[in-house]
Chains A and B, each alone.
Chain A
Amino acid sequence: MSAHVAPGAPAPARHPFPLNAWYAAAWDVEVARTLLPRTICNRPIVLYRTAAGAPTALADACWHRLVPLSMGRLRGDDEIQCGYHGICYDAAGRATYMPAQETINPSATVHAYPVVERHRFVWVWPGDPALADPGLVPDLHWNDDPEWAGDGRTIHARCDYRLIVDNLLDLTHEQFVHGSSIGHDSLSESDFVVTHDDRTVTGTKWMTGIDPPPFWKRNLHDRFPDYDGPIDRWQIIRFEAPCTVAIDVGVAKAGTGAPEGDRGAGVNGFVLNTMTPETDNTCHYFWAFARNWSLRDQSITTRLRDGVSGVFFEDEVMLEAQQRGIEANPGYDFYNLNIDAGGMWARRLIDRMIAAESEGHGAEADDTLGEAAVAAGAAAAAERPRRAEHGDGTDLPSRFDQPATLMQRGL
């Protein structure tokens, strides 16, 4: 934010993520009758469920001494108790018990983050609660749709979440990073069509009449054990700002009409990804693979999850190295190629969300600013009020005019 910076002061560091967005904080099963600490967008948050099952996300810092509440304990049906001095808060973050006094201090609250449970994830909204519309939760419905089956994992990635957005919107790298599983020479050769609106970017790639890569050959065999011919393959990537990517992937027997919309002779999966910023350069990467074939075969769920896990490990190695490369080369920007169009559009949508917040519409104040505030002298004076007897006002800024008429009236 541009507020409260003295002229000539260095511009405050901008964070690479908007705050007014839903972010997956955890898998639904991770949030239970225990205290789960997790940092989201540089904000320490503690997650738990009330006895009635409602997911709850509170600031993980006691109002009193800023000790992590996650070091405390659950109390009663919906309360959390600080482990240091025993102050209790309800699920709305309001103090219900304070030690050694008969009243509750009216200021005693910790921030309760808006929470929604959807698509097997618990989502939190780090920004202005007034704007937290549950209708804005990214669409990952394949993760709990009965027409689909699958599972996923979490990667704690030591990189800016945008590097993963770039990665998922760029298929060229598959040939080089994932050559042994899903890569194919055709990936870097065929056309990748990118479209966008104000919230989403879609990249579409069709490869027709090709030999199937090992991963897809195996999947197609689940449904069509006897088919060994060429395939038509699709990858339709949908990015939803700021950090969710659902990829419609699959193959069908070549020439059976898949590009025209008939996928009946194929197998279809969705790679579901949402990368929640932890800090400016680390993130919680939640992913899952959902399929529309052999829904009741758990061994396929496991095979696919482990297979994708192996593919993503190859990405993780590359992206963490990229993050180190960025930090080792300060002052250098990326060079953007035609193949980066998807990621470029995604970053533009993210940047617009961030810019909208820093114009002062609904953004939370940036905690890092202002210690070098314009009126630092006044701050010092006001924090330790001068008294009539010894205060002569000399520590006031000169523009802080003394109201003569008031002084004459003795007020």
Chain B
Amino acid sequence: MGATTHRRWTTATVVDTTPVADGIRRIVLEPASAGPPAPPGSHLDVGVYVNGGADLRSYSVVGMGPYGNTYVLGVQLARQSRGGSAYMHSLRRGAQIPVTQPLQNFPLAYGRPRYLLLAGGIGITALVAMGRDLKDRGADYRFVYGARSRHLMAFVDELATDHGDRLELRIDDEGGRLDVDELIAGLAPDTELYVCGPIPMLDAVRRGWAQAGRPPSSLRFETFGSSGRFAPEPFRVRIPRLGYDVMVPHDVSLLEALENAGADMMFDCRRGECGLCEVRVMDVHGVIDHRDVFFSDAQHQRGDRMCTCVSRVVSARTGGASGADGHDPVLTIDIP
């Protein structure tokens, strides 16, 4: 189903955890009883332990083990992130963690004339299984995998073996930097594009796709709201009407910081899609790092609203704003 389904929890055992690139581990989970197959594009929700509490993270299923009884994840340690990936990297063989059944928000459609799979960095994890499926079905596809540097790229050897000439690596420090507009311009009109990668890349793809006049429904993407234009910084948030003045640490989301301070926040998807957690921006000292896909480009530029679950604020200096004064970033908002 396209619609989100109820999560069903089970316990899974870590049966393998291996580094597969700098900062990326392949983590193989075996659920207590054989789980349902993971369709391409699906993810598991995993119960993690962060900041002294239970929390939830989503990781794409790269594949199932040779006997179909395990789920293979690829997890990148995001040092500046909120701690979920550090927890995942701390797991050793034999550890047990709560996981859901595979959940599907990014289904692969069959029978399209042409496909392009476009991965940026760790976004590759959402596309590996799709590539395998398209190959098995004899589909007409290309697979483009971009990253800053080769040592940051997981699964390259397997992908090269599986896809041969259909795989193109675009590696910044080897002079192969990905030009999204050029890539889109070179696609046949009936191509369907599946993309997963950091928000700046996703923004560029969405913008380029729209400017090229291509059908919006042929651009399929998924985001876990885990990356932005800038590395996360701590910032101050104020709600004058309610007298809140709260520090948001680099590894805590704005939404969580406000909840921790006692604000009654509304939210749902927690990955920048649904827009339920939006707040009104009254003033910002610094630059908003919009990390959602709910607001349009124009709305992001207007900057009068933001999604608290994923978006943040960085200092004017970090954000490259004119007149940067080196002051700490401060956000003033009102909440519904």
What residues of chain B lie closer than 8 Å to A111, measured between beta carbons? 1-2, 107
Instruction: Say whether A367 contacts B37, CB under 8 Å.
Output: no
* Residues of B82-115 whose CB lies within 8 A of A: 83, 86-87, 90-91, 95-98, 101-102, 105-107, 109-110
Q: Are B39 and A103 in contact (CB under 8 A)?
A: no
Q: How would residues 338 to 376 of chain A score, 1 for a CB under 8 Å from any chain B CB and 0 otherwise?
A: 000000000000000000000011111111011101111
Most buried by B among A101, A102, A366, A382: A382
Of A111, A365, A371, A395, chain B has the most CB atoms within 10 Å of the CB of A365
Number of residues from B at the complex interface, CB < 8 A: 69
Q: Is B233 part of the contact surface with A, judged by Cβ < 8 Å?
A: no
Q: Report how far A132 CA is from B109 CA in the complex, Å.
A: 12
A138 contacts chain B at the CB level, 8 A cutoff:
no
How many inter-chain contacts with C-beta < 8 Å in the A-B complex? 203
Contact residue among B6, B11, B51, B298 (Cβ-Cβ distance under 8 Å from A371): B6
Contact pick for B50, options A63, A95, A378, A411, CB 8 Å: A411
B327 close to chain A: CB less than 8 A: no
In A371-392, which residues have CB < 8 Å from any B CB? 371, 373-376, 378-379, 381-383, 385-389, 391-392
User: Which of B26-34, B116-124, B164-172 forms part of the interface with chain A?
Assistant: B26-34
Stretch at the interface among B52-60, B177-185, B311-319: B52-60
Q: Is A92 an interface residue (CB 8 A)?
A: yes
- Once A3-B35, A371-B6 are accepted as A-B contacts, the answer to whether A90 and B98 lie under 8 Å apart by CB is no
Given contacts A400-B97, A406-B86, contact A106 B47 (CB under 8 A): no
Q: Which of A3, A129, A400, A411 is within 8 Å of B36, CB to CB?
A: A3
Q: Mark B209-235, 1 if CB is under 8 A from A, else 0.
A: 000000011001111000000000000
- Specify which chain B residues have a CB less than 8 angstroms from the CB of A163 in the assembled complex: none
Q: Are B98 and A61 neighbours in the complex by a CB distance under 8 Å?
A: no
Q: How many residues on the A side are at the interface (Cβ–Cβ under 8 A)?
A: 73
Q: Tell me the minimal C-beta distance from A409 to chain B in angstroms.
A: 8
User: Contacts of B45 on A, CB cut-off 8 Å?
Assistant: 382
Point out the residue from A3, A107, A362, A403 that lies within 8 Å of B105, measured CB to CB. Answer: A107
Contacts of A362 in B (CB 8 A): 37
B-contact 0/1 string along A62-96, CB 8 Å cutoff: 01001000000000000000000000001011111
| Stretch touching chain A among B141-149, B151-159, B288-296 | B288-296
Query: Which residues on the B side are within 8 Å of A182 (C-beta)?
Result: none
In the bound complex, do residue A399 and residue B96 qualify as a contact, i.e. CB atoms below 8 Å apart? yes
Residues in B with CB closer than 8 Å to A129 are 110
Across the interface, name the chain B residue whose C-beta is closest to A389.
B260
Question: What's the minimum C-beta distance from A141 to chain B, rounded to whole angstroms?
Answer: 23
| Contact with A393, one of B3, B54, B83 (Cβ below 8 angstroms) | B54
Cα distance A403–B84 in the bound complex, in angstroms? 12
Is there an interface contact between B37 and A381, defined as CB atoms closer than 8 Å?
Answer: no
- Which of B6, B45, B50, B217: most chain A Cβ within 10 A? B217
Q: Could you say which residues of chain A place their CB within 8 Å of the CB of B97?
A: 400
Chain A nearest Cβ from B227, distance in angstroms: 16
**A374 close to B9 (CB less than 8 A):** yes
The answer to the question of B49 belonging to the interface, with a C-beta cut-off of 8 Å to chain A, is: yes
Contact present for A396 and B54 (CB under 8 Å): yes
B105 closest partner in A (C-beta): A107
- Measured between beta carbons, the chain B residues less than 8 angstroms from A94 are 217
Q: Say whether B86 contacts A2, CB under 8 Å.
A: no
Q: In the complex, how many angstroms separate the beta carbon of B266 from the nearest chain A beta carbon?
A: 14
Whether A379 and B260, one on each chain, are in contact in the complex, defined by CB atoms closer than 8 angstroms, is no
Please state if B49 and A403 are interface contacts (CB–CB under 8 Å). Answer: yes
B7 touches A (CB below 8 Å): yes
Verify B52–A393 contact, CB threshold 8 A: yes
- Shortest Cβ distance from B131 into chain A, in angstroms? 14
Pick from B36, B51, B274, B296: contact of A105, CB below 8 A: B274
Q: What distance in Å separates the Cβ of A37 from its nearest Cβ neighbour in chain B?
A: 17
> Residues of A contacting B269 with CB < 8 Å?
107
Residues on the B chain within 8 Å of A386, using CB: 53-55
Whether A57 is near chain B, meaning CB under 8 Å from some CB there, is no
Q: Which residues of A contact B296 (CB under 8 A)?
A: 102-103
Verify B223–A106 contact, CB threshold 8 A.
yes
Which residues of the partner chain A approach B18 to less than 8 Å between Cβ atoms? none
User: A371-B6, A373-B8, A406-B87 provided; 5 other pairs, C-beta below 8 A?
Assistant: A360-B36, A360-B68, A376-B9, A396-B49, A403-B87
Residues of A in contact with B (beta carbons under 8 Å apart): 1-5, 59, 61, 63, 66, 90, 92-96, 101-112, 114, 128-130, 132, 360-367, 369-371, 373-376, 378-379, 381-383, 385-389, 391-393, 395-397, 399-403, 405-407, 409, 411
The 8 residue pairs across chains A and B that have the minimum distance between CB atoms: A370-B8, A109-B2, A391-B53, A378-B98, A386-B53, A102-B296, A375-B9, A379-B9
